[in-house]
């Protein structure tokens, strides 16, 4: 894992991040998911029955289905019918209609940069044909039988797995591919009660069946043991936005030494109702994690982390060839290396402020590294990434 860590007892309740989208996603994956891997293995009728039953629970009847050019099926589901509300802790939950109070801005650093391109009207693949979900519905990427069959088991579908050999005792094993994200954490790092909220972009052939960078979310309340999941693959996260599909592919993406694109994500705890909201871009609300889901995070967060991570199983005794970010080291800088910029936290007075007390971590700088800095335009920021296996990282 690469990234920043910021710890602030009792005070820290949120983060802000912008990250560069990866460019060369054709070669970032550690595993080659061929048709023989996915579909030629024998599946019992009992397992198929269980999978179909699970898919029936999470794929709600759509008002409209949109066919994305990348092969995704985007179902427009009534907000009140979304899978989030099936959670037992949300049995009596009413979707928050009152807009949360956005954090006040203190910093003078600018979120805008004329070197970076944006296309707010069509930044996900399914937007390209111009079709949108009707008012009162939300877009949800439909899960398929093949999606589930790529997982280790039905239980593991859409979930991270604990991986005890990592440096952080709480750190899960991400799905094969790579992730670039922010973590909001609270609870015990050496027990089973860690609460985590995560958001960013990832490449995961196991989860999605391809190597496209995709917007994702995650949550857990028990150190990744049983609760929580990616995106909307289980009950929990309540989506309110009709234009953003969590788990859908991001387009366009940056290219090396050419056009650069980044995304802005803000997650904060609504001071009035206590729900953890997520916004995208220019304060576009996506949805929220209800306070009822959490134990420690129902009150506050104690740590925030920004960075990237990949799975390194050291198959055949070698480091993985999976690239992090663009596949280039941090020293190459803008237009070549991936970055996070304008890192801020939301404090007890619901104000965005500069980060204090950070530390950086790169487990093997010959494989992936990180370079942090500060300036008036980008505030606290860092470049990071690398190629993985190379002569200095065997």
Instruction: Check if 198 is active-site.
Output: yes
The C-alpha atoms of residue 216 and residue 179 are separated, in whole angstroms, by 9
Q: Exactly one of 181, 206, 305, 309 is catalytic; which is it?
A: 309
CA 16 – CA 306 distance, rounded (Å): 10
In the set 2, 181, 198, 206, the catalytic residue is 198
Q: Catalytic: 2?
A: no
Active site residues per annotation: 198, 309
């Amino acid at each position: 894992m690469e990234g920043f860590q910021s710890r602030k007892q009792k005070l820290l309740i949120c983060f802000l991040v912008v990250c560069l989208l990866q460019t060369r996603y054709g070669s970032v994956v550690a595993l080659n998911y061929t048709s023989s891997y996915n579909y030629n293995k024998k599946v019992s009728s009992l397992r198929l029955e269980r999978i179909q039953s699970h898919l029936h629970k999470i794929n709600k009847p759509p008002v409209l289905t949109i066919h994305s050019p990348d092969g995704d099926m985007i179902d427009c589901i009534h907000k009140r019918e979304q899978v989030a509300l099936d959670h037992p802790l949300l049995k009596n939950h009413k979707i928050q209609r009152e807009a949360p109070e956005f954090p006040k801005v203190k910093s003078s650093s600018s979120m805008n940069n004329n070197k970076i391109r944006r296309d707010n009207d069509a930044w996900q693949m399914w937007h390209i044909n111009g079709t949108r979900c009707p008012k009162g519905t939300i877009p949800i990427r439909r899960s398929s039988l093949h999606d589930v069959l790529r997982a280790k088991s039905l239980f593991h579908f859409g979930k991270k797995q604990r991986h005890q050999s990592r440096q952080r005792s709480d750190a899960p094993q991400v799905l094969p591919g790579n992730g670039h994200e922010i973590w909001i954490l609270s609870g015990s790092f050496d027990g089973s009660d860690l609460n985590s909220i995560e958001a960013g972009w990832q490449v995961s052939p196991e989860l999605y069946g391809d190597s496209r960078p995709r917007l994702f979310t995650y949550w857990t309340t028990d150190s990744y043991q049983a609760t929580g999941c990616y995106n909307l693959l289980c009950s929990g996260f309540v989506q309110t936005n009709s234009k953003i599909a969590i788990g859908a592919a991001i387009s366009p993406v940056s290219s090396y030494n050419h056009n650069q694109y980044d995304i802005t994500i803000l997650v904060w705890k609504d001071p009035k109702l206590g729900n953890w909201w997520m916004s995208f871009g220019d304060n576009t609300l996506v949805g929220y994690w209800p306070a009822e889901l959490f134990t420690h995070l129902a009150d506050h967060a104690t740590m925030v982390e920004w960075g990237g991570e990949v799975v390194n199983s050291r198959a055949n005794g070698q480091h993985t060839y999976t690239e992090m970010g663009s596949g280039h080291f941090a020293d190459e800088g803008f237009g070549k290396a991936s970055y996070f910029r304008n890192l801020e936290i939301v404090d007890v007075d619901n104000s965005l402020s500069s980060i204090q007390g950070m530390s950086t971590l790169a487990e093997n700088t010959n494989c992936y590294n990180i370079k942090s800095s500060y300036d008036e335009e980008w505030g606290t920021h860092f470049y990071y990434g690398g190629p993985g296996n190379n002569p200095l990282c065997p």
